Amino acid sequence: MDLTLHAALGTTLGGDSGLSVHTTGFGTMTATASNTVWGEFGAHAAWAITENATLDLYATTIAGPDIGTNAHVGAGYRYKF
């Protein structure tokens, strides 16, 4: 079994990218970046089912005052030929 835990802290620096997009039905939207801080936390586990097959599971959470809290989970299967 292989287990990995991770944590990170990120931030953006405020500014204006100058990017704007016109979308039918929504009008013109302009991208902006605010000063925000967020954290990322997660885990990944891999189990060797057989010598050639491995099952992977992961979960990641991103949380911050301007972005809310989001969780992502998934699974994978690897087979060695």
| Greatest C-alpha distance within the chain | 56
Please report the sign of the dihedral spanned by the C-alpha atoms of residue 14, residue 15, residue 17, residue 18: positive
Please report the sign of the dihedral spanned by the C-alpha atoms of residue 23, residue 29, residue 32, residue 37: negative
Report the domain count for the chain: 1
Taking 90 as the threshold, does the pLDDT of residue 71 lie above it?
yes
Q: pLDDT tens, 9-60?
A: 998 776 666 778 888 888 888 776 677 889 999 999 999 999 999 999 999 9
Residue 45: exposed, middle, or buried by beta-carbon count in 10 A (0-12, 13-18, 19+)?
Answer: middle
Range of the structural domain that residue 55 is part of: 2-79
Measured distance CA(31)–CA(21) in Å, rounded: 8
CATH of the domain at 8: 2.20.200
